[in-house]
Amino acid sequence: MNFSKILFYICLSLSTVLSIMGYSRSSLWQGGVISLIITAGWLLAGAKFASACLTGSVCLAAAGILLKAPPMFMFLYVSLSLASWDITMMELSIGSNTKEKKVDLYRYIRYLVLTMVLCMGLSAVIIGRHLSLKIPFLAMVILVVLFIAGFDRIIYYLRKKL
């Protein structure tokens, strides 16, 4: 078993455990069952339905948040599902040509960037949730719209810097 598969199983099992724990905290056992079904989907269908499984996981997490499940568990569940999906897609695109050393380098870089991204995302979420800024809802909407409109500018700036 290669390192990618081990990592995939760790991410998947952790995400399942976290979702079950999150749902059990708010006594919603149905959520845990659905989470187990999605995990079975990941394992049985493999790469073919990985995108569908990720969408299912996000929907389940969103439903959990709306049904008052602890949000931190749901964020972690979604993050680990994203990691599982990314590892699956990576192995699908790489193929079985593992003789090349540069493929291993690619894997290593991808794991590194993925870990960084998830850490950054979760940190942003944790810090952001603890900041209590009292902005009116309309102003918030305008800010989001402005962010989306200026997204390409941010990307351009980041590319230049990197």
Partner 1 sequence: MSSKILLVGAIIFGLFVTSLIFRNGDLMWMAIIFIVYMGTGIALSPTDKDICLQTRRYVKKTGKSCAFFVEMTLEICNKGRKGICLRLSDPLLEGMKIIDGSLKMCVYLRPGKKAELNYTFNAVRGRFAWHKSLIMAGDPFGLAESGVELNDMIEIFIQPQFKKFKPVFFRPWKTLSSIGLVPSRAGGFGTDFWGIRDYHPGDPLKLLDWRLAARHPHKYYIKEFVQEKTAEIAILLDGREKMNLVINKESIYDIEVKAAASLAEMFIRQGHRVSLFAIGEILRYVLPAYGKIQLNRILNCLSGVRSGSGSLENIPVEHISNKSIIMVLSPVDFNDIYFYKRLKSNGFDVILISPDVYDFSEIDNGNDKIGDLAFRASCLERGINLNLISRLSVSVVDWHVKEPLPPLIQKTFIRNQRLRRI
Among 99, 131, 134, 149, binds partner 1 (CB under 8 A): 99
Rounded to an integer, what distance in angstroms lies between the CA atom of residue 26 and that of residue 67?
A: 8
Question: Least distance in Å: CB of 85 to partner 1?
Answer: 9
Question: HSE (CB half, 13 Å, CA atoms) of 87?
Answer: 23
Amino acid at site 156: Y
Q: Of residues 6, 43, 45, 141, which one binds partner 1 by CB under 8 A?
A: 141
The minimum distance between CB 20 and partner 1, in angstroms, equals 18
Interaction of residue 132 with partner 1, rule CB under 8 A: no
Distance CA 25, CA 65 (A): 12
Q: Does 62 bind partner 1 (CB under 8 A)?
A: yes
Binding to partner 1 by residue 96, rule CB under 8 A? yes
* Contact flag: residue 117 with partner 1 (CB under 8 A): yes
| Part of the chain binding partner 1 (CB under 8 A), chosen from 13-21, 28-36, 37-45, 98-106 | 98-106
**Nearest to partner 1 of 6, 129 (CB atom):** 129
Which amino acid, one-letter code, is at 111? Y
How many CB atoms neighbour CB 161 within 10 A?
6
Q: Does 116 bind partner 1 (CB under 8 A)?
A: yes
DSSP code for 95: T
DSSP, res 97 = -
H helices within the chain, ranges in order? 3-25, 29-45, 50-66, 71-94, 101-130, 137-149, 151-161
For residues 38 and 56, is the Cβ–Cβ distance under 8 A? yes
Which residues are at the interface with partner 1 (CB under 8 A)? 51, 54-55, 58, 61-62, 65-66, 71, 74-75, 78-79, 82, 86, 89-90, 93-97, 99-100, 102-103, 105-106, 109-110, 113-114, 116-118, 120-122, 124-125, 128-129, 137, 141, 144, 151, 154-155, 158-159, 162
